[in-house]
A and B are shown apart, each in its own frame.
Chain A
Amino acid sequence: MAATPPQSWEYLETLQGVELHRLYRTSPPSALAIYRKLLSGLAKHYVTSLLFSPTPMPVNHFELVTRVDANAEKVKAFNQLKKYNIVRETTFQGKRCISIVPDFARSYRRVLDGRGEGNPFGQVSSPPQSATEPTIEKLDAHSQRQWDGILGYMVGGNVIQDLQEPGEELPAPAEAVVELLRVGHLVTVGGTQSRGRYAMGITAEGFAFVLQNINTQIWRLLFLYVEAAEQLNMDKIDVLSFIFFIASLELGLAYSTEDLTETQLQVLTTLSDLGVVYLPDNTTDYFYPTRLASTLTSDSSDTLSSTANKLSSSLHTSSAQHKKSIAHPGNPTGSGFIILETNYRLYAYTTSPLQIALLSLFISLRSRHNNLVTGKLTKASVQQAINTGITAEQIISYLSSHAHPVMRRHAAAEEAILQSRAVMAAAANSGGTTDIENNTGVTQIRVPVVPSTVVDQIHLWQLERDRIQTTPGYFIKEFQSEAEYRACSRYAEEIGVRRWYDDRKRMFFVDQIEGVAAYMKDRKERASGTT
């Protein structure tokens, strides 16, 4: 997760330097969140070594602490740090140096040593004795309900209404949330009103959105909210720093609303609509962050997937009927409900109207039973999904993250068989001298949870429709000499912008020209200097 920040985080790159500085200065949790969630391992390392250094560090210091063959990563790490205004280049005692931006350093040091006025991580409040404190399960249920309501609204209220049992309707999302979805082009809201609601349709982006994991989804909405903040007369940096603040709170504790500003209280209401925090009905003195909040800036994929599991498991256990009909043996969190066979048939043990509606996006459903829906992946159903903007990868990742434990066990068993066979073969090849236990020479075999025939076929179906790849950028050609071409082309590859090249024709293609142009100019100047 940490290696590839979700698309929505790119929003932060659009902030002005001044805004980032203000964010760092006013809010230690923001500094922590950006450090935790966005920086690569190497970038974190550089920040840590700069953090308590009283003077800027010479550039060559960083060459000493970085492996020679990791030059590309080093350039990437520094670009990242400069983009987020965490470090800058300076000259100190006549040498080129890197220094850490004081605003960031001060806030981040405060996170580490906890000095300074007040507690940047919120005032824990103890609710009055009479109040019933919500349990963690109740908080989970709250996030789940709100979130299901939003997704349910997106995949089409009508389908869901037909599927759900009376008395178990999903809550309708709040006005403000619907507005966010519309602004973010995830849904379109039409002009004609029917049955008291405006007609709505989901967009291609929206389809892709509903199949993503919950953390990506929620950040997408939060960044949309930050962007829209100015129209609601709020300052976007205030909103952003408050969201990072919420993300640093602890699950299951009550926090006081006493010190919050007007803006922050307003944000709190919206966060409650999204299920990120829980506001008790009878009082406004304190609030509870939910599991969604505490994992917002987590960079461990384990926590993220366990959140997804905890929340999605209640998706299909929420129905009473379901509870008595099937229990997952030995798997209390119920990590999945989908069984997909190699012949493309699919059996989904779910009663959740939301899940059924999601499946119907890319599966041709055949029948529905008490606790089960059956269907089949067909060329038509997959291509229809692809036409609406869902990718093959999204379908596959949805299927594998919701795979039934039986499928996981099956894949694991297959893996073990193949592995032992490979070890035997290796032992036989080396004349039986190799110790079977010591299988270091044998590559690890991975069996995907979703049958590989199905995975391949979904990809092929997508490829059939989508065989053209396009990359906008700059095409660089007509190099005078082989040496010049080689040097430029290699540089472009090192900084990670080269997308295509042809050594014979001496031409290559980059998606960003600035770095290469500077390099070529530099080279030319050096060349003219020496001659």
Chain B
Amino acid sequence: MPKAVKGVLLQCDPPQMAMILKINKEENNAYIIEEISTQVCLVKEVNVERLKQRVKELMDSAMGMDGDDEENVDSDLE
């Protein structure tokens, strides 16, 4: 008999998945119910928003939000 599991399907690219796995490991499997592939996993519904927030924080600190300085310069308009 097939089994049905309630949860949230999470789809993303492999680098993001790496971050998710890292966060999940650091917080003792608080989020992931089942790892399916490098792009898909099943997560607990109650914690989805918190997981997204964590990933955002991690990205901000990894990339730094100062990367777009040069794009605001319009040299030929000055």
Residues of A within 8 Å of B4, CB to CB, are 474-476, 513, 517
B12 touches A467 (CB 8 A): yes
Residues of A within 8 Å of B37, CB to CB, are 502
How many of A's residues come within 8 Å of B, CB to CB? Answer: 35
A485→B4 CA distance, assembly (Å): 13
- Shortest beta-carbon distance, B66 to chain A, in Å? 10
For residue A376, CB closer than 8 A to chain B, the reply is yes
A379→B69 CA distance, assembly (Å): 10
- Shortest beta-carbon distance, A481 to chain B, in Å? 10
For residue B38, CB closer than 8 A to chain A, the reply is no
For residue A10, CB closer than 8 A to chain B, the reply is no
A509 touches B16 (CB 8 A): no
Contact of A488 among B2, B9, B11, B72 (CB under 8 A): B2
For residue A313, CB closer than 8 A to chain B, the reply is no
A478 touches B72 (CB 8 A): no
A470 touches B68 (CB 8 A): no
B68 touches A380 (CB 8 A): yes
Known: A472-B45, A473-B9, A500-B11. A379 touches B2 (CB 8 A): no
Known: A380-B71, A470-B48. A500 touches B3 (CB 8 A): no
- Shortest beta-carbon distance, A25 to chain B, in Å? 39
Interface 1/0s, chain B 36-59, versus A by CB < 8 A? 110010110100100010011000
- Shortest beta-carbon distance, A132 to chain B, in Å? 51
For residue B1, CB closer than 8 A to chain A, the reply is yes
For residue A479, CB closer than 8 A to chain B, the reply is yes
A380→B73 CA distance, assembly (Å): 12
A469→B9 CA distance, assembly (Å): 8
Residues of A within 8 Å of B11, CB to CB, are 468-471, 500
Residues of B within 8 Å of A488, CB to CB, are 2
Residues of A within 8 Å of B13, CB to CB, are 467
Report the nearest B residue to A477, measured CB to CB: B3
Chain B residues with a Cβ under 8 A of chain A: 1-13, 16, 20, 34, 36-37, 40, 42-43, 45, 48, 52, 55-56, 68, 71-72, 74, 77
